[in-house]
A and B are shown apart, each in its own frame.
Chain A
Amino acid sequence: MSSHVSNHAKNSTHWMSRLLVMPSVSMLLLWMIIPLAMTLYFSTIQYNLLYPEDNAFVGFENYSYFIEDPGFWPGISNTLILVGSVLLITVVLGTLISVLVNTPFWGQGIVRILLISPFFIMPTVNALVWKNLLLHPVSGVFAHVWRFFGAEPVDWFAQYPLFSIIMIVSWQWLPFAILLLMTALQSLDQEQQEAARLDGAGIWSIFYHLTLPHLARPITVVIMIETIFLLSLFAEIFTTTGGGPGYETTNLAYLIYDQALLQYDVGMASAGGVVAVVLANIAAFFLIRAVGKSLTDHK
């Protein structure tokens, strides 16, 4: 009897809570569904801004055009290389740097702020600074350094375009990794490290057996969040190389922009958008499986 009553009460609060979250859930759904539905719709019709009156249904034609576009496969591989390299660089360097600045030294506070600050610079500004002040083959800082040592200055964006972009984006995202990992390190138990020292562990053993496992979860978070943003990387490419030379720095986001705004083909750009969404989901699936599980289970 009493269980019946409590069940009833439970049910009613259950419904109440459902009712109360309704507005926000439906807002979110509309927020996501409408653009997605429109993208799906546009991707199946002929829709070029140069010929706006002719909107015939074309089925998967936009998709086949997008996939057969000469920029498609370079776009995919560039996207993966970009995301992969930036992740690798930011996680490895981020871990090492945050561990280094975690031991107290004079000026620690300033150094930490300096390490974090690149993150607060807008991506476009960041890319422009790199392009015009650092990597410029004539007036850039790097060129001066090269000349100082008597070497021929490198024309970065012409000779190593993708590498240059990776460098710029890593510089932008390294602070994010450092910020998260540095914060996580503060909660690393001091006595555990002391116990390990008594047990005969050197700095490498402590790093490997205590620090790294402790950082597993924040590293996962860094990888997840960075992946989401890096898959749609755009501003840095737009302001520096414009996707070139050729397709060497064209990623999927840039390819879609290229279709939509340079060729005025909304239909094909939408098809590209859908392909990108599918790819992002596949990537997320594998990431969560591979990285998320193996690392968090370690706890």
Chain B
Amino acid sequence: MANLKITQLRKAYGDVEILKGIDLDINDHEFVVFVGPSGCGKSTLLRTIAGLEDVNSGHIYLDEHEITELAPAKRDLAMVFQSYALYPHMTVRKNMSFALDLAGVDKHSIDEKVKAAADILELTLLLDRKPKDLSGGQRQRVAIGRSIVRNPKIFLFDEPLSNLDAALRVQMRLELARLHRDLRATMIYVTHDQVEAMTLADKVVVLNQGQIEQVGAPIELYERPKNMFVAGFLGMPRMSFLDAKVKDVHSQSVDIELNNGTSLSLPIATQNLKSQSHVTLGIRPEHINLCEKESGDMQVTFDVAEHLGSDTYCYAKTHSGESLTIRENSETNVSAGESLGVRINTAKCHLFDQQGNAVGYAVDTEQ
């Protein structure tokens, strides 16, 4: 069992408050990813869970036991650091057995556990090497192995893949997903990389400036972001935001007018919008399509096109000067300065009020 509960957690360095009241529940076997921009407090939150940082107020419970003040070693958590933090003077074997040696576990079962972990991570042939003789990916695996042998209640990872090259990162990402499945472990994983968050997580926690913006399954966050921050943070390329004004509110739809004069009717059911209020329209690149100049919802002027082979990202400007990103298939060819029409998939649009909060979600029109 490993259920973690955090209530009203606050942490400040001097006068600067880094964590501003975190409430979070993490369930057994869950793979939870903390994601957010650099400096938002992800590592700090993870380190307070690990007990490496004292909290200013709030509580952390692990299976009904309060661990807020407990020493790191007593919490039954294991952490994999960004720098791996392997002990440089010890062999891989000794690195992995260190915690068990200190705990006075008998030699025989230590050997067994180290061997088992080394098997899982394909480290068997490297057991007698020193960390300096390993590659980045191997060091990474030793760091994970060091956690596995302790059989902790929760694994904590702080940007474990950020020091690896792109190819290795993808490979290790898959291995982590497999490890989570095989060990059926509870894992908390910190990253600033939204791809890692989307691919690995059962539950994503989006952090911004020391506060939780939204918690949920990756797809839920992607499709129903609570606010502009989450909407803009998840998704590559970013969601485009266009300023708009509410013209009319119906029971099952909202009519808006964009800055460039375009009128749209969005199938969004909401009560808390007034006519003439300012709103922001959010559109993901894959929900806009190019079309003939005369047809479509509005006209745009192209700036740059990025050809990725599988897709083409087109960066365009509306007539009122706002940026719009469009995702098209690989055959698309547009040149800078060219004008074309675009068609907006209104069923997939997001609408945010002046505070940046989503006003409601598209009603499912397909039913």
Contact = CB atoms under 8 A, between A and B. Distances in A.
A194 B102 contact: no
A197 B89 contact: no
Interface in B250-304: none
Contacts of B86: 192, 195
A213 B85 contact: no
B89 A194 contact: no
B78 interface: yes
B50 interface: yes
Contact of A199 (B52, B98, B130): B98
Contacts of A196: 87, 98
Contacts of B103: 200
Interface string A32-60: 00000000000000000000000000000
A235 interface: no
Given A191-B83, A205-B102, A209-B98, A198 B89 contact: no
Contacts, number: 66
A198 B47 CA distance: 11
B87 A192 contact: yes
A189 interface: yes
A195 B102 contact: no
A199 B73 contact: yes
B288 to A, nearest CB: 44
A191 B81 contact: yes
Nearest to A210: B87
Interface in B98-150: 98-99, 102-103, 130, 132, 146, 150
A78 B103 CA distance: 47
Nearest to B152: A198
A299 interface: yes
A14 interface: no
A194 B99 contact: no
A197 B73 contact: yes
Contacts of B85: 189, 191-192, 194-195
A198 B98 contact: no
A199 B73 CA distance: 6
B72 interface: yes
A197 B99 CA distance: 9
A88 interface: no
Given A197-B73, A199-B73, A189 B52 contact: no
A201 B88 CA distance: 16
A192 B80 CA distance: 11
A30 B219 CA distance: 79
Nearest to B104: A200
A125 B8 CA distance: 62
Nearest to B147: A198
B77 interface: yes
Most buried by A among B89, B132, B146: B89
Nearest to A216: B89
B99 A200 contact: yes
A4 interface: no
B321 to A, nearest CB: 47
B87 A198 contact: no
A299 B102 CA distance: 21
Given A197-B52, A205-B102, 4 more contacts: A194-B52, A197-B71, A199-B146, A299-B89
Which 10 pairs, one residue from A and one from B, show the smallest C-beta to C-beta distance? A199-B99, A200-B73, A191-B85, A213-B89, A195-B85, A191-B81, A200-B102, A192-B85, A198-B72, A197-B72
